[in-house]
Amino acid sequence: MNRYAAAKPYVLPESRAELDGPTTGGVTLPRHIDWGPHYIYDLADEAGFRLMYERVIREAQTRDDLNTYLNARSLRQVWCDLFLPVVVKTAWESRFPELREHGTTAAAAGGRTAPVGVG
């Protein structure tokens, strides 16, 4: 495991119900989350949607960051497809076991059961 990923503090929401972010349209993340070139994440594009979620989960500095950009239902749908450090996945799945259970079910079923962006 990368030492930075293991030592970095990660933010977790109090509950998934707080996650009320957008499910459609385009999203531009603030510089403290996505410091690369100006990029608009098209939530209709599955790869862009997942990339935005990965960046927000890895780089959020506050719960408000998570609540603003993540959506609880969409998170559950894409969870098993996200590329995240093990320490982050473990922390989220410890707080929200339904993510792990859904990921196992979705993986066994061959993927997501509903399209991304439906919220």
Of 6, 75, 19, give the one whose Cα is nearest residue 43: 75
Average pLDDT, the chain: 84
**pTM: predicted TM-score of the whole model, two decimal places:** 0.80
Answer whether residue 44 shows pLDDT above 70.
yes
Tokens of 28: 């531009």
pLDDT of residue 117: 44
Question: Which of the residue ranges 2-11, 28-37, 100-109 would you say has the lowest mean pLDDT?
Answer: 100-109
Answer whether residue 110 shows pLDDT above 70.
no
- pLDDT category at 24 given cuts 50, 70, 90 is very high
DSSP code of 17? G
Cβ atoms of 16 and 75 within 8 Å: the answer is yes
